[in-house]
Structure 1
Amino acid sequence: MGGAAGGTTTADTRGETQRPDPGGAPAPAAPGRLKRLRLRAAGFARRLRPRRPARTGMLILTLVAAAGVVGFGVWALYASTWLRVERVTVDGTRELTADQVRSAAGVPMGEPLAAVDTDAVASRVTEALTRVRSVAVEREWPHGISLTVTERTPELLIPKPGEKGTFTEVDAEGVRYAEVRTRPRGVPLLTLDLADHPNNQRFGRERLRAEAVHIVTGLPEGVREDTRVVRVRSYDSVTLELTRGRTVVWGSGESGRQKAEVLTALMKAEPDATHFDVSVPTAPAAADE
Structure 2
Amino acid sequence: MAGSTTAERGERQQESSGPPPARRVTPPRLRTIIILAVALVFLGSGTFGALYGSDWFRVEGVTVSGTRVLTPAQVREAADVPVGDPLISVDTDAIEARLRRKLPRIDVVDVVRSWPHGIRLKVTERTPVLLVQKGGNFVEVDDGGVRFATVSEAPKGVPALELTLSQPGSRAASLRRFGESRLVREAVRVAGALPAAVAHRTQAVKVLSYDDISLELRDGRTVAWGSGEKGATKARTLTALMKAAPAARHFDVSVPTAPASSGS
Same fold (TM over 0.5): yes
Pick aligned residue for 1:274 from 249, 253, 262: 249
Residue 191 of structure 1: CA displacement? Answer: 1.3
Residue 62 of structure 1: CA displacement? Answer: 4.7
Matches within 5 A, 1:77-88: 77-88=51-62
Tell me, what secondary structure is at the counterpart of 1:66? helix
Q: For 1:67 and 1:282, how far apart are their aligned partners in 2?
A: 70
Which position in structure 1 is the counterpart of 2:152? 181
Which position in structure 2 is the counterpart of 1:101? 75
Q: For 1:243 and 1:273, how far apart are their aligned partners in 2?
A: 14
Which position in structure 1 is the counterpart of 2:239? 264
Which position in structure 2 is the counterpart of 1:233? 208
Which position in structure 2 is the counterpart of 1:18? none
Residue 209 of structure 1: CA displacement? Answer: 2.0
Residue 174 of structure 1: CA displacement? Answer: 0.8
Residue 110 of structure 1: CA displacement? Answer: 1.1
Pick aligned residue for 1:111 from 76, 82, 85: 85
- The Cα RMSD (Å) is 3.3
Residue 56 of structure 1: CA displacement? Answer: 8.8
Give per-residue Cα distances to partners, 1:18-47, cap 9 Å, x unaligned. Answer: xxxxxxxxxxxxx99x979xx89xx8xx98
Q: For 1:87 and 1:213, how far apart are their aligned partners in 2?
A: 39
Residue 128 of structure 1: CA displacement? Answer: 0.7
Q: For 1:61 and 1:269, how far apart are their aligned partners in 2?
A: 82
Tell me which of the two structures has the higher relative contact order, counting C-alpha pairs closer than 8 angstroms and 6 or more residues apart.
Answer: 2
Identity %: 50
Pick aligned residue for 1:144 from 108, 118, 122: 118
Pick aligned residue for 1:216 from 163, 168, 191: 191
Residue 123 of structure 1: CA displacement? Answer: 0.7
Instruction: Return 66-75 or 135-144, whichever deviates more.
Output: 66-75
Q: For 2:224 and 2:90, how far apart are their aligned partners in 1?
A: 54
Give per-residue Cα distances to partners, 1:190-217, cap 9 Å, x unaligned. Answer: 1122234222222122322222122122
Residues 61/213 of structure 1: CA separation in 2 closer, same or farther (3 Å cut): same
Residue 99 of structure 1: CA displacement? Answer: 1.5
Matches within 5 A, 1:133-172: 133-160=107-134, 163-164=135-136, 166-172=137-143
One-letter amino acid of the structure 1 residue matched with residue 259 of structure 2: P
Residue 186 of structure 1: CA displacement? Answer: 0.5
Q: What residue ranges of structure 1 are gaps of 5+ in the alignment?
A: 1-10, 15-30
One-letter amino acid of the structure 2 residue matched with residue 116 of structure 1: V
* TM-score, structure 1 as length reference: 0.76
Give per-residue Cα distances to partners, 1:234-275, cap 9 Å, x unaligned. Answer: 110101001221111111112223322332333233332222
Residues 278/57 of structure 1: CA separation in 2 closer, same or farther (3 Å cut): closer
Correspondence 1:202 to 2:173 = no
Which position in structure 1 is the counterpart of 2:225? 250
* TM-score, structure 2 as length reference: 0.82
Pick aligned residue for 1:75 from 49, 54, 67: 49
Residues 109/287 of structure 1: CA separation in 2 closer, same or farther (3 Å cut): same
Give per-residue Cα distances to partners, 1:91-120, cap 9 Å, x unaligned. Answer: 111111111111111111111111111111
Tell me, what secondary structure is at the counterpart of 1:184? coil
Q: For 2:173 and 2:38, how far apart are their aligned partners in 1?
A: 80
Tell me, what secondary structure is at the counterpart of 1:136? strand
Residue 288 of structure 1: CA displacement? Answer: 2.0
Q: For 1:111 and 1:232, how far apart are their aligned partners in 2?
A: 53
Residues 177/65 of structure 1: CA separation in 2 closer, same or farther (3 Å cut): same
Residues 273/75 of structure 1: CA separation in 2 closer, same or farther (3 Å cut): same
One-letter amino acid of the structure 2 residue matched with residue 167 of structure 1: F
Residues 241/81 of structure 1: CA separation in 2 closer, same or farther (3 Å cut): same
Matched length: 253
Larger radius of gyration: 1
Q: For 2:256 and 2:41, how far apart are their aligned partners in 1?
A: 74
